[in-house]
């Protein structure tokens, strides 16, 4: 039987090895194994020092996140660490890979910490909606003081070994090749008396000067008002670290435990942990297992506008060579200059050195107005105007010059990928790669699979996403794919709500209060009121006569209020103020439009606004699932989280719906349908799930 924790004897040193792939997480068996092996080593007179280390690629990466939300199984991690603390024999942690969360707390419960040079330590619990709950908030300040502990635990950032040494989080960085070698050498010195036994719980020097002062905590709380809006656990982290400074150690631990429980019980923990797992599952696409990937070294981008330039930058920064094609020399010069400008900004932000930028521009990037320049590339992403005829002409040119096996991708937002594929002699090589703006920043990439797209082309799309540091989501072909299709539906509801009685400012405030970074009208002002106008005109020909249509946004467009770029849209932007002020002119336009239709304004509470917005989103998402445009609810969660600002701590719209209860969502939809049956046709899938008493989670699966 393979043991998840084993004890190896090296003379008078006992090495306790945690071997629980893939990341040595501290599940129940590991905690029990640690406790038992520790007792064995402590009870053995021949053992003079104890080493704790991880097998394979890493030390312990933390608690087993899959256990959260389930009934706790003893022994608890804090109890195991109490046993370590009580050990009369020195315990040394030998760190490699990542020592995170509960893993780093185990290391803090040891008397010494030695690390390989490429090791990293960290307390990233905040990213999961919790706090370090096994002494991390109490021991860290005792090593580095309150201010640095706040910084480390509130950010959740990893700290590299050399920096950890400088801070005092660890005792030595070893040049050894393995943690066993590093740990044994250090343990030998400890046994030989080079280091006195030192328990972190007993250290006071770093916190003495913080005691009795509240400034550092007041400051942290004030900062959180801006940076952690709506979040729960960061505030609890400040409370826990303050307890470390003000209370005796054991009382501090008790306080930490209470605060940890509160976090564990919060819905934010469930949302954030869901987000953690789905972003790892999203790339494991059913039906794609074993599909080969085509090699990617060089790429082409057709169109050097907003998107083409951003896509080129993203590719260049990932080490691909890029050839940009534009329709004439003037447009090409503009496209090349845009890329140059974005790279300059990367240099300014310290993401790229001046030299590497120069090298990229000289060696990896070129432009042409001749399609022949693409004859050697492995993939081309087309980002020309959103016009089927223009795109078809581009695809015909690409079909004529690309080498066999090259991938033809389109960045279209809405157009039919199958129709584009049909115009080529190689529809199996055609795919949609829908980037989001700004393309060199936004993490989401919708990978749009046409009827004939070959699996290896899809697999290569996912490989490209990974290489670009993006998260690929598989989507099927329809107007708007996953994200824009769902957006179009919930976006309409906000116009309806304004016509019904809410002001645009109340809508924005309610949506921000839900956790979105911006309100939909602020987004409209940022993107340009003209963009929405063009979208509505595109849909004029196919709009169902039963669909409600609100003219308010058209009135803004006609008044030249294009948003931030024209100084006025839904908000007024005077003197370059990008936050914008409420504008009575807009409120009057709204009143006038209501008057024309004889609508009597009814007030809508923030909760009513949020419920209607979310119900529209979830209902359309269920239709997207039902039609197979998204294969799994998790694909929708990831799309909305990474492309549309859905608050991560709510897990995504499908997770949110599960937490609220699908029966309630359906009841809301049926209630709204009494007023507007056309807009609120419940998704069959949603009705079925409610009837079966199941949730969206039950439909999640990965390859």
Residues acting as catalytic residues? 105, 125
Binding site for ligand NAI (CB under 6 A): 302-308, 325-327, 331, 335, 383-386, 390, 394, 411-413, 435-437
Site string for ligand 3HC, 536-565 (x = CB under 6 A): ------------------------------
Closest CA to 517 of 644, 701, 331: 644
Report whether 466 contacts 472 (CB < 8 A): yes
| Omega cis (within 30) before 694 | no
Stretch binding ligand 3HC (CB under 6 A), from 100-108, 144-152, 323-331, 674-682: 100-108
Closest CA to 465 of 642, 655, 276: 642
State the binding partner of 437 from ligand NAI, ligand 3HC, none, CB within 5 to 8 A by kind.
ligand NAI
* Closer CB to ligand 3HC, 13 or 63, in the complex: 63
How many other β-carbons are positioned within 10 Å of the β-carbon of residue 701?
12
* Smallest separation (angstroms) from ligand 3HC to the CB of 115: 15
* Closer CB to ligand NAI, 335 or 520, in the complex: 335
Residues whose CB falls within 8 Å of the CB of residue 672, separated by 6 or more in sequence, listed in order: 612, 615, 679, 680
- Please give the residues from 346 up to 405 whose contact with ligand 3HC meets the rule CB under 6 A: none
Calculate ∠ Cα 391-393-396, nearest 5°.
110
* Closer CB to ligand 3HC, 103 or 310, in the complex: 103
State the binding partner of 303 from ligand 3HC, ligand NAI, none, CB within 5 to 8 A by kind.
ligand NAI
* Closer CB to ligand 3HC, 149 or 562, in the complex: 149
Report whether 489 contacts 459 (CB < 8 A): no
* Smallest separation (angstroms) from ligand 3HC to the CB of 134: 4
Q: Which helix (H) or strand (E) holds 651?
A: none
* Smallest separation (angstroms) from ligand 3HC to the CB of 105: 6
The three-state secondary structure class of 176 is coil
Strand partners, 98: 120
Closest CA to 591 of 499, 496, 525: 499
* Smallest separation (angstroms) from ligand NAI to the CB of 370: 11
Rounded to an integer, what distance in angstroms lies between the CA atom of residue 538 and that of residue 541?
Answer: 7
- Please give the residues from 15 up to 74 whose contact with ligand 3HC meets the rule CB under 6 A: 22-23, 25, 61-66
* Closer CB to ligand NAI, 206 or 326, in the complex: 326
Question: Is residue 125 a contact point for ligand 3HC (CB under 6 A)?
Answer: yes
**Binder to ligand 3HC among 90, 133, 504, 633 (CB under 6 A)?**
133
Question: Is residue 510 a contact point for ligand 3HC (CB under 6 A)?
Answer: no
Question: Is residue 124 a contact point for ligand 3HC (CB under 6 A)?
Answer: yes
Question: Is residue 461 a contact point for ligand 3HC (CB under 6 A)?
Answer: no
State the binding partner of 385 from ligand NAI, ligand 3HC, none, CB within 5 to 8 A by kind.
ligand NAI
Question: Is residue 128 a contact point for ligand 3HC (CB under 6 A)?
Answer: yes
Structure tokens at 701: 């699966």
* Smallest separation (angstroms) from ligand 3HC to the CB of 41: 23
Burial of residue 353, with CB atoms counted within 10 A of its CB: 0-12 exposed, 13-18 middle, 19 or more buried: exposed
State the binding partner of 268 from ligand NAI, ligand 3HC, none, CB within 5 to 8 A by kind.
none
**Nearest position to ligand NAI, beta carbon:** 305
* Closer CB to ligand 3HC, 125 or 378, in the complex: 125
Instruction: Tell me the DSSP string of 533-561.
Output: HHHHHHHHTT--TTS----HHHHHHHTT-
* Closer CB to ligand NAI, 267 or 305, in the complex: 305
> Residue 591 — φ and ψ, nearest 5°?
-60, -40
* Smallest separation (angstroms) from ligand 3HC to the CB of 255: 15
* Smallest separation (angstroms) from ligand 3HC to the CB of 238: 16
Calculate ∠ Cα 573-439-617, nearest 5°.
75
Number of residues that bind ligand 3HC (CB under 6 A): 24
Rounded to an integer, what distance in angstroms lies between the CA atom of residue 142 and that of residue 122?
Answer: 16
Instruction: Tell me the DSSP string of 294-345.
Output: ---SEEEEE--SHHHHHHHHHHHHTT-EEEEE-SSHHHHHHHHHHHHHHHHH
């Amino acid at each position: 039987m393979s043991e998840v924790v084993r004890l190896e004897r090296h003379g008078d040193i006992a090495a306790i090895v945690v071997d629980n792939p893939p990341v040595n997480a501290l599940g129940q068996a590991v905690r029990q194994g640690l406790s038992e092996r520790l007792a064995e080593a402590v009870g053995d007179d021949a053992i003079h020092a104890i080493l704790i280390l991880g097998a394979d690629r890493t030390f312990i990466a933390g608690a087993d996140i899959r256990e959260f939300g389930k009934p706790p199984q003893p022994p608890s991690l804090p109890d195991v660490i109490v046993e370590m603390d009580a050990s009369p024999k020195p315990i040394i942690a030998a760190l490699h890979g990542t020592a995170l969360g509960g893993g780093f707390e185990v290391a803090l419960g040891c008397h010494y910490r030695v690390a390989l040079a490429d090791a990293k330590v960290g307390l990233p619990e905040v990213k999961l909606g919790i706090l370090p709950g096994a002494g991390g908030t109490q021991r860290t300040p005792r090593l580095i003081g309150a201010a640095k502990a706040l910084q480390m635990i509130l950010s959740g950032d990893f700290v590299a070994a050399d920096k950890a040494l400088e801070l005092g989080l660890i005792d030595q960085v070893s040049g050894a090749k393995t943690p066993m070698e590093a740990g044994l050498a250090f343990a030998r010195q400890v046994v030989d008396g080079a280091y006195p036994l030192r328990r972190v719980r007993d250290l006071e020097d770093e916190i003495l000067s913080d005691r009795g002062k509240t400034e550092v905590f007041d400051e942290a709380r004030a900062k959180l008002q801006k940076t952690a809006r709506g979040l729960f656990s960061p505030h609890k982290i400040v409370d826990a670290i303050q307890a470390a400074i003000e209370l005796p150690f054991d009382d501090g631990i008790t306080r930490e435990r209470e605060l940890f429980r509160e976090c564990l019980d919060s819905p934010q923990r469930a949302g954030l942990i869901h987000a953690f797992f789905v972003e790892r599952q999203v790339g494991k696409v059913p039906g794609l297992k074993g599909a080969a990937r085509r090699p990617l070294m060089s790429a082409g981008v057709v169109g050097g506008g907003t998107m083409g330039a951003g896509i080129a930058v993203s590719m260049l920064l990932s080490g691909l060579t890029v050839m940009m094609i534009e329709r004439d020399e003037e447009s090409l010069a503009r496209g090349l200059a845009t890329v140059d400008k974005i790279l300059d900004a990367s240099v300014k932000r310290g993401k790229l050195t001046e030299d590497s930028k120069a090298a990229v521009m000289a060696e990896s990037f070129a432009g042409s107005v001749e399609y022949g320049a693409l004859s050697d590339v492995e993939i081309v992403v087309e980002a020309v105007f959103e016009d089927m005829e223009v795109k078809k002409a581009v695809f015909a040119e690409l079909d004529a010059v690309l080498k066999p096996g090259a991938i033809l991708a389109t960045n279209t937002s809405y157009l039919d990928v199958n129709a584009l594929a049909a115009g080529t002699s190689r529809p199996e090589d055609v795919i949609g790669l829908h980037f989001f703006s700004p393309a060199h920043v936004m993490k989401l990439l919708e990978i749009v699979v046409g009827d004939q797209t070959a699996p290896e082309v899809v697999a290569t799309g996912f490989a490209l996403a990974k290489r670009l540091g993006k998260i690929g989501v598989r989507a099927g072909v329809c107007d708007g794919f996953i994200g824009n299709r769902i957006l179009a539906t919930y976006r309409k509801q906000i116009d309806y709500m304004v016509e019904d009685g809410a002001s645009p400012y109340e809508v924005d405030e309610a949506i921000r209060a839900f956790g979105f970074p911006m309100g939909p009208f602020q987004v409209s002002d940022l993107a340009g009121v003209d963009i929405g106008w063009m979208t509505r005109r595109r849909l004029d020909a196919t709009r169902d006569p039963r669909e409600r249509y609100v003219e308010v946004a058209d009135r803004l467009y006609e008044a030249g209020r294009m948003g931030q770029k024209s100084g006025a849209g839904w908000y007024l932007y005077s003197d370059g103020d990008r936050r914008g002020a409420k504008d009575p002119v807009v409120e009057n336009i709204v009143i006038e439009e209501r008057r024309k239709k004889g609508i009597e304004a009814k007030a809508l509470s923030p909760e009513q606004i949020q419920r209607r917005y979310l119900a529209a989103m979830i209902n359309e998402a269920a239709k997207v699932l039902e039609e197979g445009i998204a294969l799994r609810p998790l694909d929708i969660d990831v799309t909305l989280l990474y492309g549309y600002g859905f608050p991560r701590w709510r897990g995504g719209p499908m997770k949110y719906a599960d937490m609220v209860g699908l029966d309630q969502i359906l009841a809301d939809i049926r209630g709204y349908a009494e007023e507007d049956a056309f807009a609120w046709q419940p998704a069959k899938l949603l009705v079925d799930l409610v009837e079966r008493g199941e949730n969206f989670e039950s439909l999640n699966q990965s390859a």
